């Protein structure tokens, strides 16, 4: 089983888009995949066309130690979703969780050991929820939008991850995925080049191009494959799934 936290404290960089579409691409290839909506906004559930506003989700697992199997929703063939649940927000806001509570997620995920892939869609923050995810995973996927300010945020994020690694005595496998890429823009090329320089063997080979199909598909509750199968977005996320399976980097 491979367990990923998809993180970046910046919003709008493509975390949720990446979780939904990458998970779908892997599920379509016969992998067993579970995605966890750890963002109180609940965009992942909505992106997959599931109205989870009134159901219990990962909030119940973290607060009441419910079993994950009680809150799993079948989203597609081979693809399960754990919704956020409406009490997740309160957990993040009060930073209520203790260090012990931050380990509940890790403990709960053990019951999913028949899965090939688990992706945790994290909120754009660095509080209790993200820390819970960091306790739970071995691999980290960082979507980085190809714009100038992305690089600033990224060095901060890497610093936080390093501190966490040292205090926990564990090492993450870290992957960067370039998102919202405009192949013909010089700035995007510059960001691309510096990512490859700074993070050798960590940047997954396929940059995800900015594509209208990717922007539109969530409002139909569809992945890009279902919404517009022949689009650049579908091509890119299919190829990114191969990158992840093969460890293919730039
Ligand atoms: N490659 C892309 N091309 C076009 N629109 C995109 C792309 N990636 C993400 N988006 C859109 O940008 C917005 C933010 O993406 P999202 O995945 O929700 O980011 P995050 O989860 O990091 O906040 C969404 O409306 C999404 O549809
Ligand atoms: Mg999101």
SS3 (DSSP) at 224: helix
pLDDT digits (tens, 9 = 90+) for 106-119: 999 999 999 999 99
Q: Is the pTM of this model over 0.75?
A: yes
Closest residue by CA, ligand 1 atom 10: 215
Q: Are residues 195 and 176 in contact, defined by beta-carbon separation less than 8 angstroms?
A: yes
List ligand 1's pocket residues with C-beta within 6 A: 11-17, 43, 124, 179-180, 208, 210-211, 214-215, 218
Q: How far does the centroid of ligand 2 lie from the alpha carbon of residue 15, in Å?
A: 5
Q: What is the structure's pLDDT at 178? A: 97
The preferred substitution site among 24, 149, 209, 215 for testing ligand 1, maximizing ligand atoms within 8 Å of CB, is 215
For the residues of 146-201, what is the DSSP string, one character each? SSHHHHHHHHHHHHHHHHHHHHHT---EEEEEEESB-TT-HHHHHHHHHHHHHSTT
The preferred substitution site among 7, 9, 11, 14 for testing ligand 1, maximizing ligand atoms within 8 Å of CB, is 14
Q: What is the structure's pLDDT at 99? A: 75
Domain ranges of the chain: 2-246
Q: How far does the centroid of ligand 1 lie from the alpha carbon of residue 248, in Å?
A: 23
In the block, residue with structure tokens 């963002």: 39
Can you list the residues of the chain whose pLDDT is less than 70?
94-97
Architecture of the domain made up of 2-246: 3-Layer(aba) Sandwich (3.40)
Q: What is the structure's pLDDT at 71? A: 97
9 burial level (CB within 10 Å; 0-12, 13-18, 19+):
middle
Closest residue by CA, ligand 1 atom 5: 215
Q: Per DSSP, which regions of the chain are E strands?
A: 2-6, 33-37, 73-76, 79-82, 117-121, 139-145, 173-179
Q: What is the structure's pLDDT at 95? A: 61
pLDDT digits (tens, 9 = 90+) for 31-72: 999 999 999 999 999 999 999 989 999 999 999 989 999 999
Interatomic CA distance for residues 173 and 246, integer angstroms: 14
Q: What is the structure's pLDDT at 38? A: 98
């Amino acid at each position: 089983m491979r367990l990923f936290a998809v993180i970046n404290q910046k919003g709008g960089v493509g975390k949720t888009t990446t979780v939904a579409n990458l998970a779908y691409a892997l599920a379509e290839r016969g992998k067993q995949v579970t995605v966890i909506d750890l963002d109180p906004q609940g965009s992942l559930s909505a992106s997959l066309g599931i109205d989870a506003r009134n159901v219990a989700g990962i909030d119940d697992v973290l607060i009441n130690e419910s079993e994950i199997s009680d809150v799993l929703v079948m989203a597609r063939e081979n693809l399960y979703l754990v919704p956020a649940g409406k009490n997740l927000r309160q957990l993040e806001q009060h930073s209520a969780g203790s260090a012990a509570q931050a380990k509940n997620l890790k403990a709960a995920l053990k019951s999913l050991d028949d899965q090939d892939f688990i992706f945790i869609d994290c909120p754009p923050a660095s509080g209790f929820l993200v820390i819970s995810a960091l306790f739970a995973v071995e691999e980290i996927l960082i979507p980085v939008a190809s714009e100038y300010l992305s690089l600033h945020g990224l060095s901060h994020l890497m610093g936080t991850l390093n501190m966490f690694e040292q205090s926990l005595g564990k090492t993450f496998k870290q992957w960067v995925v370039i998102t919202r890429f405009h192949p013909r823009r010089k700035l995007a090329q510059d960001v691309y080049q510096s990512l490859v320089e700074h993070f050798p063997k960590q940047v997954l080979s396929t940059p995800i191009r900015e594509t209208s199909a990717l922007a539109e598909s969530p409002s139909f509750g569809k992945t890009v494959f279902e919404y517009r199968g022949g689009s650049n977005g579908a091509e890119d996320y299919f190829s990114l799934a191969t990158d992840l399976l093969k460890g293919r980097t730039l």
